[in-house]
Chains A and B, each alone.
Chain A
Amino acid sequence: MIDRLSVRYDSRDVLRGLSLEVARGEIVALMGPSGVGKSTALRAVAALQAFDDGQIVVDGFALAPGPVPPESRLVPLRRRVGLVFQAHALFEHLTALDNVTLALRHVLGRSRDEAEAVATELLASLDVGSRASAWPGQLSGGEAQRVAIARALAPDPHLLLMDEPTAALDPARRSALGATLRRLCEQGRGLLVATHDAEFARANADRVVSLTA
């Protein structure tokens, strides 16, 4: 739930009084032209960005206005929220598989075998199982995005945030992505998708929240 969220930057309002709610099993699209604050809202929910007013509550964990709290206090939030960046941000020194297993092993404490089993299944379900041993530089835009989704899903978050997921996809890939998102939300997750792609939003979102400048 986002309640009256406001973010100011250099005394300029980037976001003013944004309120929305994402239920489990629901896809909400956050629409609006570039620079309107869609990414800022996602970053605030993922506790990467401080905000000035309002409140963010995820499954009972509340973020208050002011600076981002230290990571040690964000552990419950990190378990609940996953974020897929527009630029994917895969770890360049690890293979696709290791990108997915890293958090499983070092944050959730799974054994290597367990983590690899989970990661292999995730990659296969996103149709990139054959690319498990590829390096990020060897992946196409669509493949990298699906590996990034798999990485964000590995800790099994309740809320998945996606920033402009269609930006680098051709039309065929876009509809495939729509089907993937639907499947993820049917698993009981809430999805908040920031996009300026109105067609994609109308076709796939349960609800569209429009931001205006």
Chain B
Amino acid sequence: MQLANSHRHLVADQRTRADSSELRLGTEQRHEAKDGEAKHAFHQGHNLHAVIAARLALCVLTSLGAQRPSPRVLVWGGDAEGGAPFVEADPADPSQVRGFDVEVAARIARGLGGRTARFVQVQWSNIDQSVERGDFTLGLSGVEDTPTRRARHAVTLPYFEFREVLAVRPEDAGRIHGLADLRGRRVATLGATIAYDLLVAARDTTGLIPISYDDDVHPYGDLVAGRVDAVLLDHIIAQRALRRRGGSGFVILAQPVALGHYVGVLARANSALRDSVDAVLRQAMRDGTLEQIFRRWDVWDPSQGALFDRVVRSTATAAPLGSAAGSHALAYLPSLARAAGVTLLVSILSMALAVLVGLALASGRVYGPVWLRVLTTVYVEVIRGTPLLLQLFVIYYGLAGVIRLPAFLAAVLALGLNYGAYEAEIYRGALEAVPRIQLEAARTLGFSEWQILRLVRGPQALRFALAPMTNDFVALLKDSALVSVITVVELTKQTAIYATNVGSWVVPGALCALVYLAMSLPLARLARRLEQHWRPA
């Protein structure tokens, strides 16, 4: 299990892995170097021209291969954002990847009649869909063995056994020994994983609060910061996070919550090739090459040996964790309804904030002194000129050192402050659309500036602004999907989790679209009616 790391962690891995120089090689080079002397020539730079020529040839081969994979190449997909030790961009040559999954892929490719492995980047949560689409032949990137995956795709033998482990702050280590001790506590994990399913199940039995993240780095940061009380993830990820923090900040509980296995995934129609891959994996377990790979990446432990023994001896494999696909569909409906509620609540609160911010900004721009006009203009242009996603990250993670906002509040703040800039422009335009001569008429009648705004200018501007405001609210309803990046599980995020678990986007996607439409269509209709009613003369 792995997903998006931020790139700063590549630096840390470069440091911890700098001693194992041969691991800096890309997949293809490593394959060539495995048994021959090319490795030394490569490293000592004796044959620079040959290397450049080989790289160029590789590029050409790669681009040709993208159109029509050659039978001598095994195209495999993984997520390099997941980072070491699974798959990461090679710090020495970011155009190449390295990691134990990279080496497993190379070993499988070699076993399939001496093929070369070629890597394709794919978002971790999309590996299943991409392999069925034919973007690559084999998905291999900490892919978990689940009943749904087995039902929908051709899944290889398990090649690695991981433990779902809990990480807690050191002061809680004496009190928390398992999920049962986490009633009412916030427990973080990566969305759309076995760990997430375990937490959702535990929510109903023990009353803990699952918090879903889009990456496996921030859960540990938020654990140390006190935003969550525990993290449930694969032991490899937990250990990596602990190493990066210099071994402090949190502790990993010894007793695992569950065991799981990493597998390769192929398209359903590719079951014959899957059987060949299984044969190669069995051979690699027997001849020790798989063990060597895991030892090189420091993830070998006795439980892998036991797994290898079981796999090599028996044709059957252990039953995967998790429940079957059929039961998921219904189980996720209440979550979808809850998530739709979150979407609506985030949108309404954000819009209320946006209206207040917009009114303040527009007043500043229309009525304020020069310095205030400049200030509000700068705010509006900066907010409109930068991505909402960036603003979300800055408010949630960037400000964490100064003020630690809860995710929901950060989401409402970011959306409200962002949309406030757009509202400000609507209100400014609407205020300026009220004819100046009416304002002068009001002055000659003896109204104060405030009365003119309240009785003459404001009411007319509101009519001009209502239709564009309604349109903005519809846009905000959809933009609220972005807040899932700061752990708020709203409709789109819940749908993605649902889709990953049932292994298809068809039903979840249609359901999600229906819910969005049910919320936005009446609003769009309202906007049209307002526009017809109060069109400026």
Contact = CB atoms under 8 A, between A and B. Distances in A.
Interface of A: 46, 48, 71-72, 75, 78-79, 81-83, 85, 87, 89-93, 102-103, 106-107, 137, 151-152, 154-155
Nearest to A75: B446
A151 B442 CA distance: 10
A89 B449 CA distance: 17
Contact of A103 (B437, B447, B463): B447
Contacts of A79: 446
Given A106-B455, A137-B537, A48 B443 contact: yes
Contacts of B460: 91-93
Nearest to A103: B445
A46 B456 contact: no
B451 A106 contact: yes
Given A83-B441, A89-B438, A137-B537, A72 B463 contact: no
Given A48-B440, A90-B441, A91-B438, 8 more contacts: A48-B444, A78-B446, A85-B440, A89-B440, A91-B441, A91-B442, A103-B447, A107-B445
B446 A92 contact: no
B448 interface: yes
Contacts of A106: 447, 451, 455
20 contacts: A48-B440, A48-B443, A71-B447, A79-B446, A85-B441, A89-B437, A89-B438, A89-B441, A90-B441, A91-B456, A92-B438, A92-B537, A93-B463, A103-B446, A103-B447, A106-B451, A107-B446, A151-B445, A154-B445, A155-B445
B448 A102 contact: no
Interface of B: 435, 437-438, 440-449, 451, 455-456, 459-460, 463, 537
A106 B118 CA distance: 78
Contacts of B456: 91, 102
B441 to A, nearest CB: 4
A50 to B, nearest CB: 14
Contacts of B444: 46, 48, 78, 81-83, 152
A71 B445 CA distance: 11
A102 B437 contact: no
A100 to B, nearest CB: 10
Contacts of A89: 435, 437-438, 440-441
Most buried by A among B435, B438, B441, B448: B441
Contacts, number: 63
Given A93-B463, A137-B537, A71 B435 contact: no
Taking chain B's interface residues, is the majority helix, strand, or loop, or is none over half, making it mixed? Answer: helix
A46 B437 CA distance: 13
Contacts of B438: 89-92
A81 B441 CA distance: 12
B10 to A, nearest CB: 61
Most buried by A among B443, B444, B448: B444
Nearest to A105: B455
A115 to B, nearest CB: 13
Contacts of A81: 444
A106 to B, nearest CB: 6
B49 to A, nearest CB: 75
A87 B440 CA distance: 12
Contacts of A107: 445-447, 451
A155 B445 CA distance: 7
A96 B435 CA distance: 18
Most buried by B among A87, A90, A103: A103
Contacts of B437: 85, 87, 89
A201 B455 CA distance: 36
Contacts of B440: 48, 85, 89
B536 to A, nearest CB: 9
B535 to A, nearest CB: 11
B443 A71 contact: yes
B441 A71 contact: no
Contacts of A155: 445-446
A154 B447 CA distance: 13
Most buried by A among B440, B446, B455, B456: B446
A71 B449 contact: yes
Most buried by A among B435, B438, B463, B537: B438
A92 B464 CA distance: 12
A51 B441 CA distance: 19
B438 to A, nearest CB: 5
A102 B442 CA distance: 9
A72 B445 contact: no
A191 to B, nearest CB: 15
Contacts of B445: 78, 82, 102-103, 107, 151-152, 154-155
